[in-house]
């Protein structure tokens, strides 16, 4: 009996390995990889979308931009090339939702501080007040990591167009007043192709947990 098992030991090992491979393959087929949706303007509440892009059903991407960060550096889309990033809109003197959003973004900053693939981007909606020095003081006060997170200011129309036509995160494009842009609490998850992959309530801790989980799913897309 022992001689029989010794004779066929190699074949038994090969058969076992093939069985494991078959089982894993079947499991992979039955449980497909999780994948996030790619959001298009026609999938989003029309209140948040400029009328010029509401009809778009595919190929929507974040437009090119050129803004200044808290250090006075020019920040363009090239800074985020081949990166995943999380974007939002705020202003430094906001006393209601913005402090909560900033605190949650700081939590995300801590989670991604060792991750070279992920960055953060916050746009002020009152650039006439939130100048580079104001953003710098805010960044120092909050403990913002300049290597991970840009607070940007610049041309008001460009910022408002980005909010309404690219990130789909503003309820109005304003009427010319100093606080005329009604920005949402949304954090927007952007992939390496500059596409929207998720919206999250930046004031809700559970939504932040969902964002971090979706970030894991999105990173896995590129690993596979």
State pLDDT tens for residues 20-47. 566 545 545 555 678 999 999 999 999 8
pLDDT in tens, 37-73: 999 999 999 988 999 999 999 999 999 999 999 999 9
98 in a labelled binding site: yes
Q: Give the number of other CB atoms < 10 A from CB of residue 195.
A: 17
- Whose tokens are 């990130």? That residue is 167
Q: What is the pLDDT of residue 164?
A: 93
- Distance in angstroms (rounded) separating the CA atoms of residues 90 and 150: 12
Residue 16 pLDDT: 64
pLDDT at 36: 97
Determine if residue 104 is labeled as part of a ligand binding site.
no
**CB of 158 within 8 A of CB of 65?**
yes
pTM: 0.83
Higher pLDDT, residue 164 or 28: 164
Q: How far is CA 114 from CA 3, 117, 143, 222, in A?
A: 56, 9, 16, 18
Mean pLDDT for the stretch of residues 140-169:
96
Which of 98-107, 128-137, 172-181 shows the lowest mean pLDDT across its residues? 172-181
- Residue 60 known to bind ligand: no
């Amino acid at each position: 009996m022992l001689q029989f098992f010794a004779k066929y030991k190699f074949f038994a090992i090969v058969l076992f390995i093939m069985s494991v491979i078959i089982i894993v393959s079947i499991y992979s087929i039955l449980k497909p990889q999780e994948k996030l949706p790619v959001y298009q303007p026609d999938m989003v509440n029309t209140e948040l979308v400029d009328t010029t892009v509401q009809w778009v059903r595919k190929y929507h991407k974040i437009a090119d931009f050129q803004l200044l960060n808290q250090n006075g550096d020019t920040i363009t889309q090239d800074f985020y090339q081949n990166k995943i990033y999380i974007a939002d809109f705020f202003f430094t003197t906001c006393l209601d939702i913005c402090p909560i959003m900033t605190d949650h973004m700081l939590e995300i900053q801590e989670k991604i501080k060792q991750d070279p693939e992920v960055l953060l981007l916050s746009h002020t909606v009152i650039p006439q007040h939130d100048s580079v020095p104001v953003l710098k003081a805010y960044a120092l006060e909050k403990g913002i990591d300049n290597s991970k997170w840009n607070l940007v200011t610049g041309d008001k129309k460009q910022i408002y167009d980005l909010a309404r036509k690219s990130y789909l995160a503003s309820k109005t494009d304003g009427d010319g007043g100093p606080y005329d842009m009604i920005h949402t609490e949304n954090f927007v998850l952007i992939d390496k192709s500059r596409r929207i992959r998720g919206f999250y309530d930046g004031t809700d801790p559970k939504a932040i947990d969902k964002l971090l989980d979706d970030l894991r799913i999105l990173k896995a897309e590129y690993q596979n």
